Structure 1
Amino acid sequence: MTYRNARGDARAGLLGRRLLAGAVLASLVGAGLAAPAAADDADELVVAPGVSAAGDWGRPGAPGTAAAGFTVEELPEGGTLYLALDAASPGGTGGYRARVKVEPDGGLVVGTSKVVDGREGWYSSTPVEGEVEPGDVVNLEADFTGAPRGDVLVRAWPSDETRPDWQHDLVDDGEVPVTSTLVNRTWGYLSSGASGSVSVEVGDVREQVVAEPVHTGGKPGAATTGVPDGTKLTRHDGDLVITTPGARYDSLDVHGFVVVRAPDVTITRSLIRGGRQTGNRGLVTVDDSRSRNFTIEDSTLKPDHPSVWYDGIKGSGFTARRVDISGTVDNIKIYGDDVLVEDSWLHDSRWFASDPNQGGGPTHNDGVQVLGGSRITFRGNSITGASNGAVQVTQDYSPVMGLTFVGNWLSGGTCSVKINHKGEASRPQVAVRDNRFGLGQSIAGCAVLATSRTDLSSSGNVWDATSLPIVVTRFG
């Protein structure tokens, strides 16, 4: 088993968990994934020296991400406090533990351990910057997406600091105990040398509020997006499948599709045409667990052979700046976390009378469709020319949290922005601020349409022609 410090951003969700007081364990090494006996359900617990605490196992699901904010009421004296997020195969006897250690002086150390048959064995750690004081919140996030192949990412930080890059990366070279179906929980332990108990409250991650950049440029279009005039392109025939971390591509003319399967990849000043294939795919697809922190800038995505199967960019964990996307069913389709799209032109989606994805009915074209994910921002874009909506928000794949549309130009569709919770118990959390809306909606005057269960923040949105405020329509 090897470990390395991790760099680069990645997808991470926000899953607040509660800890339950647990059984006394003989030692930390013996504190495995088998669940301790639980006491009363509580948002706050007191962990005594030599005692572990654990939450209920979550329901089985695909490998994903987990996060929690731990409020440490007092620092441990004479010992150390361990706070963790567990991912385990069903049954809870084998898996991985992503941990943050809180030292008596408030220092933080992140680490990851492997648990086999209920026994914690392998463990490695990385000291991190920042420290906490009594009453502070320690944020902990873990990306278990790669757990079935032995790859776990961890980061921890005080809530008064900004979210850092991933700080610790476990790479398990041995037999992997986690299957593709996972359950998860929160966990804590106070070393037996501590002089007294420690109280910990568990909730959602809390973050420092960072001022959002104000978009000062004009409306994006042909002159400001896509491959810059005069760029000499080099032809690439066939699909470009990227597996090299940190790879950079510039000035390509790709007669095929782009598939990103490595972290920290960058594409600039390139034309991506797609090919002739059946089956749903993006001209650029970024949905592999390894494809973290992908960036595409000053590029044009337009299929030579438009098809009912093709979208523009599909996936998550990417940044798109000054891109020109047209001629696809959806310009951008998101299903995951950590996306930024800014100063781009999403326009002229392609409509088809018969779409297998719609049961043979016509295509539902969207400039942007968000199927699930967190920390998604669209800023300073022009999004036009889609028959269904400039923006369509659903929760087909996962809850939508932290989705922001600010300073964009939006028009068209039945309604330009459409938000639906789509059967999920959680409310979509969406902010729509300071956007300018064009006319042309097939439902006259319908700029923003949202279900009554949507957690919607709307302010500063106006009609572009008159600068009069738009009205949000609620339903359901």
Structure 2
Amino acid sequence: MLAGASVLVIVGAIGVAYAVQRPAGEGGVDAGASASVSAGVSDGSSSVSGSPSPSGTKSPSATATPKPSATTRLPSSAGGPWPNASNTGVPAGTKLTTYSGPCQIRTAGTVIDAKTVNCTLEVRAANVTIKRSKINGRVVLDTDISGSSKWSYTLVDSEVDAGLVQLPAVSYGNMKVIRTEVRGGATSVQCGEHAISCTVEDSYLHGQRIPDDAAWHLGGFLSNGGKNIRIRHNYIFCSPPANSVGEGCTGDLNLLGDFATISDVLIDSNFLAAGTGMSYCLYGGDASSKPYPHADHVVVINNVFQRGSNRKCGAYGPVTGFNKNGTGNQWSNNKWDDGSTVPPEN
């Protein structure tokens, strides 16, 4: 997608609009912006208040708050609990100090460890690691920039709160997101069409935010085209209900062929939470109305779809746009949370 583009995209047969926006030079547009937010969400997320300091002045050290225990909304998987607030994010007991380094990272091999970061981190270097840290802002690697194919970052054991902003909390590729809790933004994690790779594992994506009168469309994970995407063992929930103008979530996990073909995607062992404010829990990358209508090598296996109050996961069903006959596509062992089989058709 071109920097500065603002595109209104229509997804699915029911005509749900997904607004795709990326301001020019967006990697730093909200650096230093206040992350003070109070927005009601349906999964019990608390509001976060932060007053970022552009100068990064040090403050007294803090200790990460002990994580709350899992709730009944977070059922156990066969291999242990699903990612949630108790087993993702900054490990309990970690002493955090205020980050005083640059918000635009240009030094290869940079490690940010045990910090409270009060700005958006823009990655423009290779092998950047952000770990055991709380980011009151966003984490961005803009894959539209020339030379970005050489940049990369790992975000691990951390917490991101993007606040109330119509942009993704974590983006746009060449990244690994591991055991991280992501809140805020219009989308929790977004992978762009120019990304070399995207991996999200053992993470908790929830608590997206929308003004009550805004025509935004939200999601847990979004790719508008791209390849080499790995989404493994995450709890993904597009949690806000529809707002006063009827806008809100598109789906938990959204693959949409807007800017490139969706290809080489693994969606394995995730929990897709139910919400009647979204159309479907999963968009599978195939839609005849799209510029790139046919996804290939999309493997969806071992996932659990929560039935929810209407027994459908989303308002209209669990999945749309998955072509079981597409080249290399596979749908296997996907279950409802009651153990029954979820077929690829609605």
* Alignment TM class, shorter chain as reference: 0.5 to 0.7
TM-score by length of 2: 0.65
Alignment of 1:54-203 (within 5 A): none
Q: Could you say which residue in structure 1 is the equivalent of 2:306?
A: 438
Offset at 1:316? Answer: 1.0
Deviations 1:40-73 (A, max 9, x none): xxxxxxxxxxxxxxxxxxxxx99xxxxxxxxxxx
Q: 1:407 to 1:315 in 2, by over 3 A?
A: same
Partner Cα distance (2:204, 2:293) in 1: 34
One-letter amino acid matched to 2:200? V
Q: Could you say which residue in structure 1 is the equivalent of 2:66?
A: none
Determine if the alignment matches structure 1 residue 406 to structure 2 residue 272: no
Gaps of 5+ in 2: 3-76, 240-248
Of residues 138, 153, 167, the one that matches 1:294 is: 153
Offset at 1:223? Answer: 1.2
Of residues 223, 232, 253, the one that matches 1:379 is: 232
SS in 1 for 2:93: coil
One-letter amino acid matched to 2:172? G
Offset at 1:334? Answer: 0.6
Determine if the alignment matches structure 1 residue 370 to structure 2 residue 223: yes
One-letter amino acid matched to 2:292? E
Partner Cα distance (1:239, 1:447) in 2: 43
Partner Cα distance (1:388, 1:426) in 2: 19
One-letter amino acid matched to 1:418? Y
Contact 2:305 2:336 in 1 (8 A): yes
Q: Could you say which residue in structure 2 is the equivalent of 1:45?
A: none
Offset at 1:419? Answer: 2.5
Offset at 1:427? Answer: 3.0
SS in 2 for 1:392: strand
Determine if the alignment matches structure 1 residue 314 to structure 2 residue 177: no
Q: Could you say which residue in structure 2 is the equivalent of 1:218?
A: 81
Q: 1:428 to 1:448 in 2, by over 3 A?
A: same
Determine if the alignment matches structure 1 residue 228 to structure 2 residue 91: yes
Partner Cα distance (1:215, 1:262) in 2: 38
Partner Cα distance (2:172, 2:107) in 1: 18
Of residues 221, 232, 250, the one that matches 1:388 is: 250
One-letter amino acid matched to 1:261? R
Q: 1:239 to 1:367 in 2, by over 3 A?
A: farther
One-letter amino acid matched to 1:342? E
Q: 1:316 to 1:215 in 2, by over 3 A?
A: farther
Partner Cα distance (1:337, 1:396) in 2: 17
Partner Cα distance (1:454, 1:253) in 2: 45
One-letter amino acid matched to 2:258? D
Offset at 1:420? Answer: 3.8
Contact 2:178 2:201 in 1 (8 A): yes
> CA RMSD for the aligned pairs?
2.5
Q: 1:437 to 1:451 in 2, by over 3 A?
A: closer
Of residues 331, 338, 353, the one that matches 2:197 is: 338
Contact 1:354 1:363 in 2 (8 A): no
Contact 2:149 2:196 in 1 (8 A): no
Determine if the alignment matches structure 1 residue 350 to structure 2 residue 209: yes
One-letter amino acid matched to 1:429? H
Alignment of 1:6-85 (within 5 A): none
Offset at 1:437? Answer: 0.8
Q: Could you say which residue in structure 2 is the equivalent of 1:457?
A: 330
Deviations 1:217-238 (A, max 9, x none): 4211111100111211121368
Q: 1:415 to 1:271 in 2, by over 3 A?
A: same
Determine if the alignment matches structure 1 residue 429 to structure 2 residue 297: yes
Of residues 181, 194, 197, the one that matches 1:324 is: 181
Q: 1:397 to 1:462 in 2, by over 3 A?
A: same
Offset at 1:254? Answer: 0.8
Partner Cα distance (1:375, 1:290) in 2: 13
User: Which ranges of 4 or more aligned residues in structure 1 deviate by more than 4 Å?
Assistant: 451-455
Contact 2:202 2:232 in 1 (8 A): yes
The percent identity for this pair of structures is 27
Q: 1:354 to 1:311 in 2, by over 3 A?
A: farther
SS in 1 for 2:300: strand
Alignment of 1:232-251 (within 5 A): 232-236=95-99, 240-251=103-114
Q: 1:462 to 1:404 in 2, by over 3 A?
A: same
Partner Cα distance (1:463, 1:400) in 2: 25
Offset at 1:215? Answer: 8.9
Determine if the alignment matches structure 1 residue 448 to structure 2 residue 319: yes
Offset at 1:239? Answer: 6.2
Of residues 283, 293, 297, the one that matches 1:418 is: 283
Q: 1:390 to 1:269 in 2, by over 3 A?
A: same
Offset at 1:392? Answer: 0.7
Partner Cα distance (2:343, 2:293) in 1: 26
Offset at 1:310? Answer: 3.0
One-letter amino acid matched to 1:396? D
SS in 2 for 1:230: coil
Q: Could you say which residue in structure 2 is the equivalent of 1:468?
A: 340
Partner Cα distance (1:368, 1:437) in 2: 15
Contact 2:251 2:314 in 1 (8 A): no
Contact 2:141 2:152 in 1 (8 A): no
Contact 1:367 1:385 in 2 (8 A): yes
Offset at 1:293? Answer: 3.4
Contact 1:311 1:331 in 2 (8 A): yes
Contact 1:353 1:363 in 2 (8 A): no
Contact 1:315 1:334 in 2 (8 A): yes
Contact 2:164 2:210 in 1 (8 A): no
Deviations 1:239-262 (A, max 9, x none): 611100111110111111010000
One-letter amino acid matched to 1:327? G
